[in-house]
Structure 1
Amino acid sequence: MTRRFWLLFNLLILVPLLTYAHPGPIQTGTVSAGPGQKLDQVYVVNFRTGFHDHTDESGRFTLPDCQAGDSLGIYRLGYFSQVVHLKSVGTPLDIILQPSPIVLDQLVVNGSVNPLRQVAEIDMKVSPVANSQELLRKTPGLFIGQHAGGGKAEQLFMRGFDVDHGTDVAISVDNMPVNMVSHAHGQGYADLHFVIPETIGKIDFGKGPYYADRGNFNTAGYVNLETLPVISQNLIAMEAGQFNSYRMVGLLNLLPTDGIHRAYLAVENVMTDGAFDSPQQLSRTNWFLKYSGQPSSHQHLILTASRFASRWDASGQIPERAVKSGAIGWFGAIDDTEGGSTSRSNLQADHLFLLDAHSFIKTSGYLSQYDFDLYSNFTFFLIDSLNGDQIRQKETRLLSGVQSVYHASLRLGDWEVGYRAGAGFRTDEIDDIGLTHTKDRLITLDTLAISDIVENNWFGFADAEFDYGDWKLNPALRIDYFRFTLLDAVKKPFGTQSFYDTRFSPKFNVIYTPTDQWQFYLKSGMGFHSNDTRVVASGKGTSMIPIAVGADLGSIWKPIPRLMITTSGWILNLEQEFVYVGDAGVVEPSGKTRRMGFDAGFRYQMLDWLFADADVNYAHARAVGEPAGEDLVPLAPEWTSTGGLTVRHESGWKGTLRYRWMGDRPANEDGTITAEGYVITDLMVGYQTGPWFAELSVDNIFDNDWKETQFATETRLLTEPSPVTDIHFIPGTPRFIRLKTGFEF
């Protein structure tokens, strides 16, 4: 079986190279927004022949059967459209598009394998994000919840998953992974607080395990944040709000933006006490430096360095029964000595080398130094009735990786073919990953676990896009090899344990685009999330690399020029679920699950300055093999929806009114405990005149009491004779008013 997979993989790589053919006459070109700003997903069409292409990440396109006198249409959302008249054929075109106000007429439904990326692009351009939490909310159907003090990674919900901190959504920034394998707090932990929102230019996302270049944790989907290659203007801004909340941000060009060498610096500082009775004292500092240049006409180089550090206090999860009895208030605490600190330093390099007019190689590498130290108390006095159950989770990590991908386009008879083949590795070296029993963050009572871990992931993938008329076929294969190495410093006999496993992930997508207003797609594939190395060593998991098998059937429709409607029905089977374990504050493997549901949404430009949008998502999640009535997946969201109105007027006024709704969901397997849903409405009004701007934001304008994150946990309070299982929650932010002012220059 293994030999067959390797044979298929090699055929995917070699066949397109051996059959490379480009019948003339061919017209090639590059589309950009200026020096160093190559534009991908630009729709280029020959009006005479109907042949079309969309630019790749190097900004290049290829059109067959061109001749002098042909007219080419160039379309990209957020840029003025162009018509280029060919005086001759063969000389590469260099096309520069000028930015324009958002007009949904510009949106063309093309044959992209992942056309839903345009939804996030519309949302980003219409309503830019104001904080790191809002970045993930730009992904339709993805919900987030602040968790334990604002310094800790948010809890995620998507497609019927309580993803905890990232177990089933692969998150990256400029393709550098954010999810942490074998993390001290939980598998897949993804902390995005090192991202400065103003530096993000695009959000690339996909739902389901259908993308060959996305590996570990890509089961429910993936999100990749892409930072700006250059900034158009310098920026200085300050934000102040209730609860002693302050934020300062600055972006500064270090080199001219119109040269072949460009660089900018971004800095951010955030402080807040939050609404809690015990102040959070959150303090976070970020800086980000990015250089982009062209060593030669065939090369493009990007270098990035960033640093993030944060510390905070936390009130933790509180039991519903303590609030109802009046023992504590809505924003109170049982143990207010929780909290922690974390930091991450990153170096990244991306090199793109143009081989010829139809192929290029992109190589990326990253190196991250990461520290994490967290104090939590999930069960209060359940285990230790005298000192309490506070725990400390800590680790130090060195994360490194390299990936190189070959891209090519060619023509085989009537078929247009796009092709990618890539390979790479990721290594996590984790020192002193520990779990200790503590008191008041000052006293260590007992060492429960401490170990060193090295986890290696080598991978290769290949996929092809075969275009024939209105059809696109996209077969793909990904191969991942894992090595898990554990040195346990507590459990005897001491020694190093190593484990190995391989995962093959085939995928096949079919796209049918009969017009530039309508598209249908059927996607299918296998993905996976790896197990924690400690779980692998213990033998608790049913598999080292549990698989996910899914399919999507959906459509994109533009019934009128300024309205886009998206629909999708989906199913996802998971070989092994992750479940939350309260006493250790981690996730552990469970049994098989099946999820099915649908996503629907629309984007509508009602007037030149008024936009409306909404997304509705439903998921039916069940454990496989469990008795009926006891097969619910705890905390799996069933109904969710987001939407709102956005104003962007040429007079300088702008504003948004948005809601997010999550319905009630079961908190345990038999549904006897319910995690209550909520509806929250946020408002922002802003005005800009010349370089100066001001924005007034009001979160939770109706001042609702709501539970942002919830768990069904067995705990014991100091005054209770026996344990009680009920809802424990982090209270959501009350009405929160803040003002942001700044200027661009």
Structure 2
Amino acid sequence: MLTLLAPHARAQDADTQVALARQSLPTVEITGNYANAVGTSDAASQGTVTAKLLESRPTLRPAEVLEFVPGVIVTQHSGDGKANQYFLRGFNLDHGTDFATCVDGMPVNMPTHAHGHGYSDLNWLIPELVNRISYKKGPYFADEGDFASAGAAHIDLFDQLPRGVGSVTLGQNGYRRALLANSSAMASGQLLYAVEAAHNDGPWDSPEKFHRFNGVLRYATRTDDSRAAFTAMAYNAGWNSTDQIPLRAVQSGLVGRFGNLDPTDGGQTSRYSLSYALQRTLTDGRFSVDAYVIRSTLDLFSNFTFFSENPVDGDQFEQAERRRVMGLTSSRAWDHSLAGHDSTTTVGLQLRHDRLDPVGLYSTVARRRTATTQESRVRQTSLGLYAENSTQWTPWLRSIAGLRADRFSFRVDSSIAQNSGSQGAGIASPKLSLVFGPWDKTELFINYGHGFHSNDARGTTATVTAKPPHDPVDRVNALVRSRGGELGLRTEIIPGLQSSLALWQLTLGSELLFVGDAGETEPNRASKRYGIEWNNHYAARPWLFFDADLSLSHARFTQADPAGDQIPGAIRTVASFGVTVADRGPWSGQFQLRYFGPRPLIEDGSQNSKATTLAYLRAGYRVSKDVKVALDVFNLFDKQASDIDYYYGSRLKGEAADVDDIHFHPVEPRSVRLTVSMNF
């Protein structure tokens, strides 16, 4: 069930308003996988994924819940404990960069990260606890700051599970998973707990031996006009990884498609968090606050170039960090009259402080440190303030105008003295949206806004390269502006069908691109992207749902360079089609097909990846009221394709010099998993 708010009441905290207004506002039943009805958003590309889809659709890895956001692709180029690779709107987002992700008020993107700026690890997410995913695309929303130029996703967890669940999953390649989760009344609230343990060897010639342990404990209270929750989370994982390998190594027979060239690659990671959330409905509006403390660690061992730098011992390196994050987000919305029209004004504050003690890059041999390339202690603080007004001027015209101001400060103490220092930067981001309609269950949108992404703090103070001979380098800008616009349409003129169309454009002052020999993202030239998205969600019957999405993008550098103007990894085409069958007697099922189109791998476009088409299938059977069996098949048609492709130089054992080549990480072959779950 989704609560529909009057248009003037929708501002930044739409999700909070929905949750708090259930007791006082009329409700309508929304059936299907998406709650994207006319009158529920400020842009055609904004929407909500319901728990119905989350429950019915299988995921190979936890972060694949983001693929429920139309146009998003989630892949992997290393072990399952490492953050996934993300693609959206002509971006290879690497591990996060320009796509902001948030879970229950806590940011997922990690700035100035050991492996890549904006690193978004979601392996600690338990999909069964996800209540819904609210998504936005483009820099049109005043409450979205760093990393949100391409889009943002807010993942909300349950306060109270519909029923307790215990499940065991067994699959090929040593896959095992156990989950126990429940919620029960305690005092005046609900106590929710969940524990998860999983192991997977994968199809790799060198078993991945991935293992993770996960725990969630939440106490939530709710009254007619407020909701509060305390949440504790704990996660620990370790793995061996098979990273991308050069095509020539497979073609020569040196390794198979699932082989590796450095069997000691892998990592360990952990994450612990405490958070508090409060939302309250007031007589004249709403108030919300989220506060959190996060502690995370990472030790990641990779070898992307093999024997380029060290022909004897190999090029393995370690990226490690110890991080603490403290943050606070708060907003206050006032419902009032503006020139005789219903209006809502919202002001908000977002404060975040990251402490890295330390973050470093090290040379290693078989996970043993042999030298320190650079080790830094970093203090990074960001403060965002925003204001937004939403006014219903006529029954068919609504405006949303906002202004955001952000200030960042960095302090870096590096093992390389020339790279130590302090920097600060600020940026202002105006936003404006107009919503026309609805007419005949159809509405039109015009959206425009400025946004930004930050750069790695170490780049803002560095004056020499981290690797010898420490050549001089220019400091990078701390904040990079983005500008975007969108024309959109959403309609429900056909009964049962929610359809939206968006024409969008986005420019960036500087790209963040993956650098293979460092395993990091670095600033690059300015760029421009534009494209079209068409999303369709159809409830054909109360038990039968169809989802079909198409996204086409064009991406180019806008600054001339002899190397070319194409952006490596820029995705051009994404298409997906899904069919969900719900509760046909004891049976249920879901089929999902997604197409991930070719991408240029270097600037001149002479090297391109191939397309990847994958299908997932779930068949479920309810044995009794409390017992259900589900059979999941991944890569149903057993396609041989790539999860990711790069093009760069590397050197194999015995080669006299670096060879430019495609380096790929294969999709996993067809695999089957069987889950038995019991509700209580």
Q: What is the aligned counterpart of 1:347 among 251, 274, 287?
A: 274
What do the CA deviations read for 1:258-292 (whole angstroms, capped 9, x no partner)? x7311110111110000000000000011011111
SS at match of 2:78: coil
Q: Distance in 2 between matches of 1:624 and 1:55?
A: 40
Which of 406, 410, 429 is matched with 2:336 structurally? 410
Structure 2 partner of 1:648? 582
Q: Is the 8 A contact 1:40 1:54 kept in 2?
A: no
Unaligned runs of at least 5 residues, structure 2: 9-13, 464-473
**Cα separation, 2, equivalents of 1:452 and 1:205:** 34
Is 1:197 matched up with 2:123?
no
- The code of the aligned residue for 2:639 comes to N
Alignment of 1:710 with 2:638, yes or no, is no
SS in 1 for 2:458: helix
- Which one scores higher on RCO, CA 8 angstroms, separation ≥ 6? 2
Residue pair 1:480, 1:503 contacting (<8 A) in 2 also = yes
Structure 1 residue 502: deviation in Å? Answer: 0.5
1:160 to 81, 90, 93: 90
TM-superposed deviation, 1:119: 5.2
Secondary structure of 1:559 counterpart: coil
User: SS of 2:460's equivalent?
Assistant: helix
Q: Contact conserved, 2:16 with 2:279, CA < 8 A, in 1?
A: no
Q: Secondary structure at the match of 2:454?
A: coil
Structure 2 contact 45–502 (Cα < 8 Å) conserved:
no
* Corresponding position: 1:527 with 2:438: no
TM-score, length of structure 1 as denominator length:
0.85
Match of 1:74 in 2: 27
Give matches, 1:138-287, under 5 Å: 138-255=68-185, 260-287=188-215
Q: When the two structures are superposed, what TM-score results if normalisation uses the length of structure 2?
A: 0.93
Corresponding residue of 1:110: 39
Counterpart of 2:421?
497
Is the CA contact 1:111–1:512 (under 8 Å) kept in the aligned structure 2?
no
Equivalent in the alignment of 2:654: 719
Find the aligned partners of 2:36 and 2:455 in 1 and give their Cα distance. Answer: 41
Q: State the distance in 2 between where 1:400 and 1:103 align.
A: 34
CA contact (8 A) 2:99 2:151 kept: yes
Match of 2:471 in 1: none
1:454-508 CA distances to partner (integer Å, 9 max, x unpaired)? 000011111011112111100001111000100012x1368x5110110101100
User: CA offsets, 1:171-217, max 9 Å, x none?
Assistant: 11012100000000010000011111111001011000111111110
Letter paired with 1:306: M
- Alignment-derived partner of residue 307 in structure 2: 381
Letter of the structure 2 residue corresponding to residue 164 of structure 1? D
Q: Which of the residues 569, 573, 576 maps onto 1:635?
A: 569
In 2, Cα distance between the equivalents of 1:630 and 1:530?
Answer: 25
Matched to 1:267, the amino acid is V
Deviation at 1:111, TM superposition (A): 5.3
**How far 1:114 sits from its partner (Å)?**
4.5
| Residue 683 of structure 1 pairs with residue 617 of structure 2 | yes
Paired position in structure 1 for 2:676: 741
One-letter amino acid of the counterpart of residue 362, structure 2: T
Pick aligned residue for 1:731 from 642, 653, 666: 666
Contact 2:20 2:280 in 1 (8 A): no
SS of residue matched to 1:236: strand
- Matching residue of 2:371: 446
SS in 2 for 1:135: helix
Residue 393 (structure 1) aligns with: 319
CA distance in structure 1 between the aligned counterparts of 2:133 and 2:327, rounded to whole angstroms: 22
CA distance in 1, matches of 2:106, 2:22: 26
Q: CA deviation at 1:330?
A: 0.7
Paired with 2:7 and 2:485, the residues of 1 have a C-alpha distance of: 30
Measure, in 2, the Cα distance between the counterparts of 1:121 and 1:519.
22
Residues 111 and 606 from structure 1, CA distance in 2 versus in 1: closer, same or farther, beyond 3 angstroms?
closer
Pairwise CA distance, 1:127: 3.2
The answer to whether the 8 Å contact 1:40/1:55 transfers is no
Q: Does 1:458 align with 2:383?
A: yes
CA distance in 2, matches of 1:425, 1:640: 35
How far apart in 1 are the matches of 2:493 and 2:303?
A: 53
Contact 1:110 1:516 in 2 (8 A): no
- For residues 450 and 208 of structure 2, the distance between their equivalents in structure 1, rounded to whole angstroms, comes to 42
Aligned to 1:699: 634
CA separation of 1:58 and 1:422: change in aligned 2, threshold 3 A: same
- Determine if contact 2:44/2:489 at 8 Å carries over to the other structure: no
Which residue among 354, 357, 364 is the counterpart of 1:431?
357
Aligned counterpart, 1:365? 291
Deviation track 1:281-314 (CA, whole Å, cap 9, x = no partner) reads 00001101111115x7754321100001100001
Q: Please report the RMSD computed on the Cα atoms of aligned residues, expressed in angstroms.
A: 2.3
1:360 to 1:107, Cα distance in 2 relative to 1, 3 A: closer
**Counterpart for residue 542 of structure 2:** 608
Structure 1 position 511 matched with structure 2 position 439: no
User: Match of 2:497, as an amino acid?
Assistant: L
CA gap 1:320/1:482 in 2 versus in 1, 3 angstroms: same
User: Displacement, 1:42?
Assistant: 5.0
Say if 1:646 and 1:628 are closer, same or farther in 2 by CA, change over 3 A. Answer: farther
Deviates more, 1:374-383 or 1:647-656: 647-656
SS of equivalent residue, structure 1 residue 321: helix
Confirm or deny that 1:316 pairs with 2:243.
Answer: yes
1:122, distance to aligned residue in structure 2 (A): 7.9
Q: Distance in 2 between matches of 1:609 and 1:552?
A: 34
3-state SS of paired residue (2:617)? strand
What SS does the aligned partner of 1:253 have?
strand
Secondary structure of the structure 1 residue equivalent to 2:636: coil
- Asked whether the equivalents of residues 137 and 144 of structure 1 are also in contact (C-alpha less than 8 Å), the reply is yes
Structure index of larger Rg: 1
Counterparts in 2 of 1:166 and 1:55: CA distance versus 1, 3 Å: closer
Structure 1, unaligned stretches of length 5 or more? 1-32, 34-38, 46-52, 64-71, 79-101
Amino acid at match of 1:538: A
Tell me the amino acid that sits aligned with residue 730 of structure 1: H
Q: Distance in 2 between matches of 1:315 and 1:574?
A: 33
Instruction: Give the 3 Å change call, closer, same or farther, for CA 476–220 of structure 1 in structure 2.
Output: same
Judge conservation of contact 2:48–2:135 (CA < 8 Å) in 1: no
